[in-house]
Structures are given as structure tokens and as C-alpha cells.
């Protein structure tokens, strides 16, 4: 039975070819698929994880990096709880584009969205962006930072679990409504939601 209490939407963005699809596949299916084609528009996968004793469903949206899909992918930013901005540590242009991606995020995403910067492909020997450069960029822009390898499975689990934990923490602190699949009302399952403005008696 689908007994999860929290549903979070996580959206991956970044240049074409940085490894967004591979990160999602690695996390959701434990695979590093060979010959992965470019994403067309958006794709999504689901994984339910456990944080503490609670089940958390992550709906992970994998967007196309190619410019021609930009208007489609932008429409997915708004409802994201977390945005993962990915670059390829062996490809300088993917790092140079980060400010453009941040402008998009600022324009289309919620101001409260959790933002994470990820330098992917750390298994490669031809690194062009030193780790501290990525770290500094993330710090300057109030983002979490992690380097990963979808190929070797380095830090991939950690990336998504950290996001799930942080979103849970945020949800608990702000007392946002939980998702209760057994309830008619998507908003009514928080036990002591005293900040609620109206109530049906």
C-alpha cells in the first residue's frame, strides 16, 4: 500500500549531457544505462525512501538540457520543492552556464526552493573544474554542494537522501500539510495545524 506521508518534487536542470538522466536512473533503478539518449522535454521517476520512521515519496523530474526544450522545462520549476543544478566537472562550458541557469531558477522557481549544485562525472580523469571552484560558487549562491559520479555511484544516494531529509525538516518546521493518500482532503492530515485559516465544521 502507498502509505507515504510526504511527497516532494525534485527537479534536475543543467546543460545537455551533464548526466542528469544517469543520476536519476542510478538513484531510482541502481543502473548506469549505456547509450542514454538525450531527454526529450521532461521525464519523471518515483522513489519512496525512508527518513527516520517516515516514508517519503520523491517525484524526480528529469528535464532536457537542450535549449529547444527550455519553454517546456521552465514550467516544471514552479512546483519544485528542490532543484538540482548539475554541471560536468570535465566540461568547462557546463560550469560557465551556471549563472544562466540560476537566472532561470530565480525567474521560474519558488523563492523557497531548496537549491543544490552538483558537479557530476568525478570518475573522469580529465577534470576541468576543481572541487573548490564548485564549492565557492555554491556558497556564493546559497546552495548545497556535492560532487557525484552516476557511473561509479559516488554520492548519488547521499544527494537524494540529503534532499529528502532537508525537505522533511523544512516541512516539520513550517508545519506544511502532509500528503495523506487515505484522506479526501490533501491538506487535512497535519495533526495540529493551528495556523490554518479556515475550517469546515
Q: Which residues of this protein are in contact with ligand GTP, per CB under 6 A? A: 16-22, 36, 38-39, 64-66, 120-121, 123-124, 149-151
Q: Look at residue 45 and give its three-state secondary structure.
A: strand
Q: Give the whole-angstrom CA distance, residue 137 versus residue 162.
A: 20
> What is the nearest approach in angstroms of ligand GTP to the Cβ of residue 95?
14
| Residue 2 or 67 with smaller CB distance to ligand GTP | 67
CA distances from 66 to 6, 30, 61, 161, 197 (A): 31, 25, 15, 27, 43
Q: Give the whole-angstrom CA distance, residue 188 versus residue 120.
A: 40
> What is the nearest approach in angstroms of ligand GTP to the Cβ of residue 125?
10
> What is the nearest approach in angstroms of ligand GTP to the Cβ of residue 129?
14
| Residue 9 or 25 with smaller CB distance to ligand GTP | 25
| Residue 42 or 176 with smaller CB distance to ligand GTP | 42
Q: Give the whole-angstrom CA distance, residue 47 versus residue 24.
A: 10
Using CA of residue 28, residue 35, residue 126, residue 83, what is the dihedral sign?
Answer: negative
60 touches 24 (CB < 8 A)? yes
> What is the nearest approach in angstroms of ligand GTP to the Cβ of residue 155?
10
| Residue 92 or 183 with smaller CB distance to ligand GTP | 92
> What is the nearest approach in angstroms of ligand GTP to the Cβ of residue 148?
7
| Residue 43 or 166 with smaller CB distance to ligand GTP | 43
Amino acid at each position: 500500500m502507498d502509505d507515504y506521508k510526504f511527497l516532494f518534487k525534485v527537479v534536475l536542470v543543467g546543460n545537455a549531457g551533464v548526466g542528469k538522466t544517469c543520476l536519476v536512473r542510478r538513484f531510482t533503478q541502481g543502473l548506469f544505462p549505456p547509450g542514454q539518449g538525450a531527454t526529450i522535454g521532461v521525464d519523471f521517476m518515483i522513489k519512496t525512501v525512508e527518513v527516520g520512521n517516515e516514508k517519503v515519496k520523491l517525484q524526480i523530474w528529469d528535464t532536457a538540457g537542450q535549449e529547444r526544450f527550455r519553454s517546456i522545462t521552465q514550467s516544471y520549476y514552479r512546483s519544485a520543492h528542490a532543484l538540482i543544478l548539475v554541471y560536468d566537472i570535465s566540461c568547462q562550458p557546463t560550469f560557465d552556464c551556471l549563472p544562466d541557469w540560476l537566472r532561470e531558477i530565480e525567474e521560474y522557481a519558488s523563492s523557497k526552493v531548496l537549491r543544490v549544485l552538483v558537479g557530476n562525472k568525478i570518475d573522469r580523469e580529465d577534470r576541468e573544474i576543481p572541487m573548490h571552484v564548485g564549492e565557492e560558487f555554491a556558497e556564493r549562491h546559497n546552495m548545497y554542494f556535492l560532487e557525484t559520479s552516476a557511473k561509479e555511484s559516488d554520492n548519488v544516494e547521499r544527494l537524494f537522501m540529503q534532499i529528502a531529509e532537508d525537505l522533511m525538516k523544512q516541512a516539520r518546521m513550517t508545519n506544511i500539510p502532509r500528503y495523506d493518500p487515505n484522506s479526501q482532503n490533501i491538506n487535512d492530515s497535519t495533526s495540529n495545524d493551528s495556523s490554518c485559516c479556515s475550517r469546515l465544521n
